[in-house]
Structure 1
Amino acid sequence: MNMHSRSRKALGIAVASALALTLAGCAREGGGGGASGGGASPGITDTAVKLGISTPLSGATAGPGTCTVAGVTAYFGAKNAEGGVAFGDGKTRTVEIEALDDGYDPQRAKANYDSLKGDVFAMTAGLGTPTNRAWRDAAIADEVPQVLVMTGDPLFSDTEESPWQLGFVPIYQNEGEAFGKLLASSGGAHKVAILSQNDDYGAGYVEGFKSAVEGAGNVQIVGELTYEATDTSVDAQITQLAASGADVIFNAMSVTPLTVSALQKAQQLNWLPRWFLPSNTSSPGAVVEPGGGAAFPAIYSVSFAKAPASPAFAEDEDVRTYLAALKEHGNYPDAPAFPHCQWSWMVGATLEQAFAKMTAPTREDFMRALRSIENFEAPLMLPGTAVSTTEAGQPAVPTVVVQKYNGKGYDTVEAFE
């Protein structure tokens, strides 16, 4: 998907020139959430709606960032090809998406929001905690929806402080807690080393993990270090943690190249613990295989989405439909290396659910509709998970299942092995 050079180019789902003419009459100065003179909020007409995305399309996180655009683009590309999306107000609309590259830089993310807010109906799908936080307060003040974004930051699920926002993926604490519960219930004695990102992302994972193992007599944390998201190496941290004698490493990292190098460095030191990897950096093709993951006794992650690379889903109807649309409409010809492609496909399905519940073409009614979704089994969801947006303090997907790497993909597990 060659998107690095297309910083302002819309992703071609609807005819941009025609949409620009229809939107001109309803866009308001400043992009506030209230209705314009014609009764509609900015970015929506009787025939079309426009969504904005700020996400990393270049730099170290370009792989997952590109996927956050590809999946939702593919979803609505397929819907547009069928005639559009049916809204609850009786209108059928095509969906256009404009994605801008922020390079995982908060300042660029804020600038992207400022350039889009008056033209789009809502912002969605973009990757990153610091980048989404950079314009969170502005979106609240402007009453612009910032929804189903790819961050596990609990701030985006606080309905009182963030009435215009909603995260999509499980909050970091939920993922960390799932890991901790699995380990604490194993019965065996384990020494754990922790390497986490020195920000709210890493802190959230560690908080959830520690809360789950607190009081567990079989789990001892023997080393705990951090790294900066801007670091180019974690060799020193891995070397120090290897000396701890830990048989398990809880590795709360968001940077793909650093996760790969951490796996490789541990092998160079002949340190072969069991690994816990966050969903964000657990891709079989982009992380585990390049990192030589098969050398370790086990690698665990968490998920809520079916993985196309897993043999268990090779003939799955959801997966086959998704892969075909990703190639035809998402400008993504290869099998996705990152789960974010699946996640953003599910974002598209969730947005369609909200659109179907809207009775007025306004941002306010969209937020009402979005926050009324319960137990929606979006395409590609794993059994036992669902989209539910009504629970205060929780994102659209509040639950995960723990999985173990099987050499190609992941299998759901009930016990630590």
Structure 2
Amino acid sequence: MTISRREAMGWLAASASLWASRSAWAQQYDQGASDSVIKIGMPAPYSGPASSYGIIGKINEAYFKMRNDQGGINGRKVEFVTYDDQYNPARSTEVVRRMVEQDGVLAVYGNLGSAANAAVMRYMNMRKVPHIFLAVGAERFAEPEKSPWTMPFMPSYQDEGRTYAQHILKTHPSAKIAVLYQNDDFGKDLLQGLRDGLGDKAKDLLVATASFEVSDPTVDSQIISLHASGADVFVNFATARFAAQAIRKIWDIGWRPQQQYLTYVSAYVKMTLEPAGLEKSNGILAIAFFKDAIQQRWAGDAETQRFLAFMQQYAPNEDIHNSSAVYGYCVSQTMAHVLEQCGDVLTRDNVIKQAASLQNYRPEMLLPGIALNTSATNYWPIQSLQMVQFNGVEFEPVGDTVQLGA
């Protein structure tokens, strides 16, 4: 049988059309994705009262530069868009809208702070843009039935508060507890968790609370007031700058609580305890979920060695003593994992679907025994933590891993 040139050209055209239609079906894109690029955004506090956490954004930028040098994600380069939101809700709203409406990102992730994220959460859910792996642990950010496009990365603040309550009841059952807390979702959720954990004993054990605003210059007056309550256990629910002020002031006025607890948000030697004074911080208890790369206990650890090599090559000007760099490294790996799992279906629907389908995923530098798990009904990736205590040099593990909500 002889095929004419016209018939052959027609067959080739039909085949090309069929292939194109199959490729279009296999590769689905929303704004921010294409055959060659995935565009994602992260606001970060490069200035303002929480600027010490700005390193998180810098490490994410460095991580995706490394991934691009290695060929990108599923053959696509990642365009990382970041702006300074100054830890300010108004500024955060401005930069997030810019990312979505002008830069055209596929997703926004990793933003720090309850107030900043609360300011944009309704907008992100109305626009159906993934707003995920946020540096928050307040309950309102893990309610898939109300805000399906919003998901935290940090553990639940209320569960953290309950964990400290359980430890106090076990080790200081007749304690007189004083609490310093930030006057936003972050501080209020921690305080609520502590109250819930103390149960009926809260009315007797919790003798004083004092709040502060992130715009306050110091918390000195709050510490003086809490000291006057006669409390012998102090619980510090403050971000790094204010947590350091509190620890230092407690020491300077001669208050010596039998025990101090520090939220994991500020449980950093470089950012919190060094400014406070290491000798003034000895014995403080906290909880943790990732390794501190400079601790001697991790010197021979392969994950830590890879992290330090990454820092040396891709973030040589950033401080490895700032443990927020490790946190940023964990978040960046998790975001990359979700994009990998999306394959060629880079739609916003699929991004949130994959973010809500983590199964025992372990980004490098998580502590042993801790993994990330999410589902369509449970948006908390981290559900176990390790109690740690500062020994004058570093935080060291105390006891076994704690299961949150248990």
TM tier relative to shorter chain: 0.7 to 0.9
8 Å contact 2:247–2:281 — kept in the other structure?
A: no
Q: CA deviation at 1:217?
A: 9.3
Tell me the TM-score normalised to structure 1 length.
0.84
1:68 corresponds, among 41, 56, 65, to: 56
Report the Cα distance in structure 2 between the residues aligned to 1:180 and 1:313, rounded to whole angstroms. 30
Going from structure 1 to structure 2, the CA distance change for 1:217 and 1:278 (only over 3 Å counts) comes to closer
Q: Distance in 2 between matches of 1:348 and 1:295?
A: 34
CA distance in 2, matches of 1:189, 1:357: 50
Percentage of pairs with the same residue: 26
2:276 partner SS: coil
Q: Deviations over 1:359-411 (max 9, x none)?
A: 41211111111111111122111123211111635422232221111222211
2:252 to 268, 279, 282: 268
Tell me how far 1:137 sits from its aligned partner. 0.7
Deviations 1:231-289 (A, max 9, x none): 111111111111222221011112x3222221111112111222211111121012112
Q: Secondary structure at the match of 1:190?
A: coil
Bigger relative contact order, structure 1 or 2 (CA pairs below 8 A, ≥6 apart): 1
Tell me, what secondary structure is at the counterpart of 1:193? strand
Post-superposition offset of 1:331? 5.5
Q: Which residue of 2 aligns with 1:78?
A: 66
Structure 1: which 4+ aligned runs deviate by more than 6 Å?
Answer: none
Matched, 1:350 2:338: no
* Match of residue 182 from structure 1: 167
For residues 373 and 221 of structure 2, what CA distance do their matches in structure 1 show? Answer: 42
Structure 1 counterpart of 2:155, which letter? Answer: P
Contact 2:158 2:194 in 1 (8 A): yes
The counterpart of 1:155, out of the listed 135, 140, 158, is 140
Answering whether residue 84 of structure 2 is matched by residue 95 of structure 1, we say: no
Letter of the 2:67 counterpart? K
In 2, Cα distance between equivalents of 1:217 and 1:253? 20
Residue in 2 aligned with 1:214? 199
Higher-Rg member (1/2): 2
Matched residues in 1 for 2:82 and 2:56: separation? Answer: 10
Indicate if the aligned counterparts of 2:49 and 2:241 stay in contact, CA closer than 8 A. Answer: yes
Report the alpha carbon displacement of residue 75 of structure 1 after superposing the two structures with TM. 2.5
State the AA in 1 paired with 2:39.
K
Structure 1 residues 285-364: aligned runs within 5 Å: 285-296=270-281, 298-330=283-315, 332-337=317-322, 339-359=323-343, 360-364=345-349
| 8 Å CA contact retained: 1:309, 1:409 | no
- Tell me the SS of whatever aligns to 2:260: strand
Worse-superposed segment, 268-277 or 326-335: 326-335
Aligned residue runs from structure 1 range 6-405, under 5 A: 39-64=28-53, 66-86=54-74, 92-118=75-101, 119-186=104-171, 188-215=173-200, 220-254=205-239, 256-273=240-257, 274-296=259-281, 298-330=283-315, 332-337=317-322, 339-359=323-343, 360-390=345-375, 392-405=377-390
Please tell me whether the aligned partners of residues 158 and 394 of structure 1 are also in contact (alpha carbons under 8 angstroms). yes
When the two chains are superposed, the root-mean-square deviation of aligned CA atoms in Å is 2.2
> 1:100: Cα distance to partner?
0.4
Give ranges in structure 1 of 5+ residues lacking alignment: 1-34, 87-91
Q: Name stretches of at least 5 consecutive residues in structure 2 with no aligned partner.
A: 1-23, 401-406
Q: Given the two structures, how large is their TM-score scaled by the length of structure 2?
A: 0.86
Per the alignment, in what secondary structure is the counterpart of residue 83 of structure 1? coil
The residue type paired with residue 177 of structure 1 is R
CA distance in structure 2 between the partners assigned to 1:176 and 1:388 by the alignment: 21
2: CA distance between counterparts of 1:248 and 1:213? 14
Call closer, same or farther: CA 1:358–1:313 in 2, change over 3 Å. same
Q: Give the residue type in structure 2 aligned to 1:201.
A: F
- Does structure 1 retain, via aligned residues, the 8 Å contact 2:282–2:390? no
SS in 2 for 1:245: coil
Q: By how many angstroms is 1:321 displaced?
A: 1.2
Counterpart Cα distance in 1 of 2:334 and 2:88: 27
